[in-house]
Amino acid sequence: METGGGIVQALPMLGDMPFIVMNGDVYTDVELGSLSLPEGMLAHLVMVDNPDFHPEGDFCLRDGHLFEKDKMPSGQNLTFSGISVLSPRLFDGCQVGESFALAPLLIRAMKQDKVSGQYHKGFWTDAGSIVRLEALERYLKQQLQEHLQDQNQNNLQDQSRTS
């Protein structure tokens, strides 16, 4: 169904309010509860630095608005994180059962200046390949080991204070 077609299929369950969409193959520390759709916008996208596997980026972020990267040579090209807040109105005119990507709808809305964006400088990775998934697993194991070491250190300090 692609992302766009899948969302159109789910719209009756989502209602009339904006909703968050997050790709299933990303891992991040983005605070989803802090995301919102600014008044008058059809979409709000979280943008990240361009990863090695996608150095040219997807869109241009300037003054909180997103544009096609070839339309704004002076802006900052960034990669779409796969995290967005979308208005059901973005899908006006789309047919249930059709298979289509989300990007053409976003570009159409960008041409109407209806897509806002924010830059996320925290942790984000796309685990959409075996190599990137394995790298994420190594990172998470390292983080867990560091957390457990810190916890053990704190427990030892607590025990020495109570002895």
- Give 23-69 pLDDT, tens digit per residue: 999 999 999 999 999 999 999 999 999 999 999 999 999 999 999 98
> CA-based angle 77:31:128, to the nearest 5?
60
pLDDT value of residue 71: 75
Predicted confidence (pLDDT) per residue in 105-146, tens digit: 999 999 999 999 999 999 999 999 999 999 999 999 999 999
Which residues 6+ apart lie within 8 Å of 50 measured at CB? 56, 57, 77, 78, 79
Handedness of CA 47, 83, 29, 145 (dihedral sign): negative
Quote the CA–CA distance of 45 and 59 in Å, as a whole number: 10
Mean per-residue pLDDT for 90-105? 94
String of DSSP letters for 72-123: -TTSEEEEEEEEEEE-GGGGTTPPTT----SHHHHHHHHHTT-EEEEE--S-
Q: Is the pLDDT of residue 163 over 70?
A: no
What is the per-residue pLDDT for 151?
86
Tell if the pTM clears 0.85, that is, is over it. Answer: yes
CATH code of 2-126, in short, is 3.90.550.10
Mean pLDDT of the chain: 92
Q: What distance in Å separates the CA atoms of residue 114 and residue 108, rounded to the nearest whole number? A: 9
Confidence band for 157, pLDDT divided at 50, 70 and 90: confident
